[in-house]
Structures are given as structure tokens and as C-alpha cells.
Amino acid sequence: MGVLNVTPDSFSDGGSFIAPDAAIARAVELRSQGADLIDVGGESTRPGAARVDPALEQSRIMPVIEAMVERGIPVSVDTMNSVTARVAAKAGVRVINDVSGGLADPQMYRTIAQLGVRYIASHWRGHSDTMDDLTSYDNVVTDVRNALKGRIAEMLVWGVAPEQIVIDPGLGFAKTARHNWALLGALGELESLGYPVLIGASRKRFLAPFAPDDAPASERDFATAVVTALVAERGVWGVRVHDVASTVTALDVWSSMRAGGARG
């Protein structure tokens, strides 16, 4: 998944693609670099970010989504709002990526069940302005697994089909660097729930130690690509990244090594 933030305040590229023409050009570029899916978001979820009204969110993303669908570019929408999910699905979006896992909008599961779209549900404890105060866990792997298991059970009750569901441990959302590494090191625990797993590590704060001091978030792309190759080896469903080119290279190297091993 290639990230396309149509926002003025996202943590790594806020404002770069707020104009529809710039966003559409970026989508075409990400697709040409090898992205299977472009994840379009109109509300920043960086630490401390304020909520955005769904009408403003839609005014940012819908011209871009409509142009992408017209060009045949596969699109997902990054939203916590069921009304935005419904509008996007009507325009041709087939994947809804909800960082709140349905907790931000009580109508989300009903909406997803009605739409029949793929739904990515992340582990989440609170909105961006409070999440850094919600990082206390007894055991982060067990707690996140149990929380996602509960989300899945509720989705099924609302009529969401099992084949619609993808889960995401929510790296960086109410989690410290130590928590993020623990979750990456225990992917098998999450996969044991029986659902595909998405990993969104790209450019997040826990990768900052692998870049020069005070470097921009884009300097974390190399570390992101390494994480991508490692989680690919674990068999995850997908990765969500800002820099598609470096990720594709990492996956090509990983794929070549696997093919070489098979031939050997």
C-alpha cells in the first residue's frame, strides 16, 4: 500500500499533496513504482493531530479518489468515519483502512457489512491528541491480540464477513518503541487469530534511531524497507509505506533469495 496523505499536517509529508493535481500525480507515480494499492487519507493521525469534520475530509479526498478510479488505480481510503467510507465505496473504493478499528464511529461495522468492502481494522486506544497517554499494557502482545480478537468478534456480530477482515497491530498508536518491536517480533501471535495482517511501520518514530539525528522522517525509508523484507518473510498480507520504490526493491531482493533457496 502506497501512502497518499491529502492533508496539510501529516507527520512526514503534510501539505505536499493537498492540491488535487499534485495528489493525483503522486498516485500515478506510486502506482508506477509498484504499489498494489494507494491508501488515500484526508485526516492526519499523527500524534497530537486534531479531528477533522467528515465533510472537510471528503472535500480533500474525493476529487483525488474519483480521478484515481477513473484511471484504473486501485484505491483504499484511510478513514475513521462511516459516512466517508460509504461515499468512497460508492465512488469505487473497495478497501477501507480504519486506524480506530471501528471504535471511533459506532456505525462503522454496520456500514462495512452493508458495503461488502475489505476492511482493515487497527488496534487503537484513543485519538491522536490522547494516544501517547494510553501506553500502559500488562503484556503488549497479549493485550493487542485480545483487543483485536474482541474487535473481530463484534464485526462478525454486525454481519461483516470473515473474508472482508484484515487486522493491523497499530504500530505507533498508543505504543512506545519497545511495544512496536515486541509486536513485530511476535507476528505469529497476531496471525494465530486467523486473519490477514497489515503492517504500517513506515517512517514512524520508533525507526528514528536508524537515521541521522534530527533528520526528516523521509530518512527512515531505509529502515522501513528492512522491516518490510522481514515481515514479508513472516507472510504478512501487506505493508503500508510512504516510499514505494525502496520497499519494492527490498521485496525484490527477498523474493530473489526465496527463489534461490527453492532452486537450491
- Assess whether 151 carries a catalytic annotation: no
Catalytic choice (125, 145, 203, 204) = 204
- The CA distances from residue 209 to 4, 61, 140, in Å, are 25, 33, 21
Task: Check 118, 145, 151, 240 and give the catalytic one.
Answer: 240
- The SS3 assignment for 136 reads coil
Question: Residue 196 contacts by C-beta under 8 Å, 6 or more apart in sequence?
Answer: 165, 166, 167, 236, 237, 238
Residue type (1 letter), 110: R
Q: Answer yes or no: are the C-beta atoms of 222 and 246 closer than 8 Å.
A: yes
Beta bridge partners of 113: none
State the cell numbers at 81: 468515519
Query: 203 an active-site residue?
Result: no
Q: What are the DSSP E strand ranges found in 106-234?
A: 118-122, 165-168, 198-199
Measured CA to CA, the distance from residue 191 to residue 189 in angstroms comes to 6
| Cα 201 from Cα 249, distance rounded (Å) | 17
Give the residue numbers marked as catalytic: 204, 240
